[in-house]
Structure 1
């Protein structure tokens, strides 16, 4: 049976006109792709308070007459960028905050600081914890669980690398004398607040938080979330207990959340951690944080590690002749030793 029209069977393919051929439409549309994006001039400024499975709770019109929390998602063009607690963002869409409403984050504003960690010291891939914090509140227990000076060293390295000022709160001082532990950090000029179980020194701590965005970190079970609950009544952050067999705290808080302190400032509570990788850290930032030592280290040989066995290290010579206090140089060298085992790490000043 012929497949050509009956009256054109003998004319062959020449009988067909191009206009008779059905052209399949472009399934993706006919508009050419462009890298230009809307300016979103109507976007409103917001602070990211928490992140939960692709949904962001943000605060709009902070300290204004119409301050409100809004649930938002991220714009498609931001899908490869991490949005974290503490970020300042631009939001479009329904930013009314009404039940069922949903805004859209279209821009991340420039960040002033980034507190980061890696999975371990060999992993250069950073995990951003919070953005725009200017203080790091390190919470440590004097006992139950036992304090870990080297973990605190890692917190301090991350803080100095990010340009964030550290504070130290030592809890459960009624269970053990914290002086031996605190001696590790006596030369670092870090504010230290002591507390016993059930007796938080809020009058001493609150003025240090006012006007700042402070991120709280600590080993599980040290009382970090309990302290946050005391600073921000009604928060009800989950708290845990220490295992009597292992001496370790149980992970309780599973999310990072930013909370307004009634006496002023913001505190960001983070999940408890048992390790804090530093594979992302620029070691030069550690020395910069010790400005008095950095000035002396300018006379060190190129490539000097500034460690105790470094040949012709000006820091070691300054300790030997009494120009620098040994305890402060030892504190710097202990932090640098935390990083020196990383493959490819550079300790150039």
Structure 2
């Protein structure tokens, strides 16, 4: 304060104040980003602590995210543009400079009250829900939730029922028949021709509880994966363990399977009743006649779905299946 009074007494004004030069220069910062026209197309097949394993023209390339992508994160299945060292040598490192638009996104939350979504995989065509028929028995809650997540994401669900030598698959198949969800039945050492038919020419992600036989299936489908030892890579070189999500090419089937660690829960905080209705076109038009904000559960005031079914637009089994998934989300 005293110094300020002395300055005014001496008659200093703004013109006497020397401005410090901008150490970064006076040129405005450009928002233009490099075009990277030479970037090669690749697909992320594994992610490990900020490093991305990308398959580029059949070569496994290790890459990091370019700074210009900001905080955009990539997941297994993402299609990207890559520049830099494409040799695939152990010490080589490329850069991901482009993240292509995703066709589908399979996501979940940690629980139903968690607002933060976690993207599991991108660009999958099919969700293979692996459930054992015994030891352990079917977890209908997880199956229901996986079906909801698949339908809401526009991904086709497929039931894969393992250990059929220990229990009959009929109760499970009957439970989900109103949803028209296809099912394949397997047992250890048995043929997998039907499952291979569903996986051909598709990108399929396998989800299930630990102990349902998912690793056994992967080993039978992709012998070079060797999931029993926990070491795999996209084409069998052996870099990633079973604790991570990894995409594996299916020999002779022109398809991919994405293996995921065993899950304990599948939160669906991001899925609404309207999201689920999208997968039930025979009920969707009837729902437009419900009162605003209707949750479409049985007995809800103003719900028109029961009348819609009575008019012959859908079936009671389909409505019951829809409501079964609705309350499980």
Gaps of 5+ in 1: 1-17, 62-66, 241-251, 340-349
Find the aligned partners of 2:271 and 2:38 in 1 and give their Cα distance. 38
User: C-alpha separation between the residues in 2 aligned to 1:327 and 1:226?
Assistant: 34
SS in 2 for 1:124: coil
1:142 and 2:133 matched: yes
Q: Which residue of 1 aligns with 2:298?
A: 308
Deviations 1:204-241 (A, max 9, x none): 1112111111111001110112111111111012489x
**CA-CA distance at 1:313 after TM superposition:** 2.6
Q: Retained in 2: the 8 A contact 1:55–1:72?
A: yes
SS of equivalent to 1:234: helix
Supply the distance in 1 between the matched residues of 2:76 and 2:311 (Cα, whole angstroms): 48
Which among 76, 84, 109 is matched to residue 118 of structure 1? 109
| Native 8 Å contact 2:294 2:300 kept in 1 | yes
2:78 aligned with 1:87: yes
Instruction: State the match for 1:159 in structure 2.
Output: 150
Q: Quick check: 2:273–2:295 contact (8 Å CA) kept in 1? A: no
The DSSP-based 3-state class of the residue aligned with 2:225 is: coil
Is the 8 Å Cα contact of residues 118 and 126 (structure 1) preserved in structure 2? yes
Give the secondary-structure state (helix, strand or coil) at the position aligned to 2:223: coil
1:58 aligned to which of 42, 49, 54? 54
Q: Which has the larger radius of gyration?
A: 1
Give the drift of 1:79.
4.3
Contact 2:106–2:149 (8 Å) recurs in 1: yes
**1:173 equivalenced with 2:169 (yes/no):** no
- TM-superposed CA distance for 1:181, in Å, is 2.8
1:258/1:268 contact within 8 Å kept? yes
Q: Number of residues paired by the alignment? A: 301
Deviation for aligned residue 1:198 = 2.6
Is the CA contact 1:149–1:184 (under 8 Å) kept in the aligned structure 2? no
User: Does residue 1:268 correspond to 2:270, yes or no?
Assistant: no
Which aligned pairs between 1:1-349 and structure 2 lie closer than 5 A?
26=23, 32-61=28-57, 67-199=58-190, 201-238=191-228, 253-262=242-251, 263-320=253-310, 324-339=314-329
Separation in structure 2 between the aligned mates of residue 292 and residue 321 of structure 1, nearest angstrom: 12
SS of residue paired to 1:289? coil
